Amino acid sequence: MMPSAIRVEARAHSRATEILERVVTAVLNIFPDSLREKVVVSTTDTEGYGGLPIVVVTAVVEGEKAASTTLSHILKSLTESDREWLANTLERRVDEKCTLFLRADKQDAFRGRVSLATGPDIISIQVQFQDHPRCQRGRAVEFIREAIIQGAWDDGRPQCQSEDTAAGQ
């Protein structure tokens, strides 16, 4: 069995100088239109440096189909150079719990484009993977890398050449 995405969380800060609805729109644009009704959005009020108000906007989808479809949407939206950079930095982006960490540009997301962020105005994206009997980081990394390189996504599920290739064997 190959690893599979089971949860995607996108989170951004709405600072006092930003319009909250625009930040919510940017965060929702990380998810495909077809899943918008399944995205659970929450906001949390907090304070930044000097007591300035910040609202943390969090959006989540759970379940293998919704998470895989969202990951497919994100990866398809990236430019070829973003996908190449992601594939080359993947080892640093997947932790021991098989969670993939991405940073998307918040302004681009508001405009309807998903791109990897180079600046501080970001949407933090976490994609959690599972595997049976338990997730192994190396398998998850190779599975994601293979899917990025091949660009072979069908119905939201990465279609790698073989399970052995995805496992890095």
The string of pLDDT tens digits covering residues 62-96 is: 999 999 999 989 998 999 999 999 999 999 999 99
pTM assigned to the model: 0.87
Cβ atoms within 10 Å of 95's Cβ, excluding its own: 13
CATH H-level, domain 9-166: superfamily? Ribosomal protein L5 (3.30.1440.10)
Phi, psi torsion values for 111, nearest 5 degrees: -80, 0
Q: Is 115 helix (H, G, I), strand (E, B) or coil?
A: coil
- Taking the C-alpha atoms of residue 68 and residue 6, their distance in angstroms, rounded to an integer, is 7
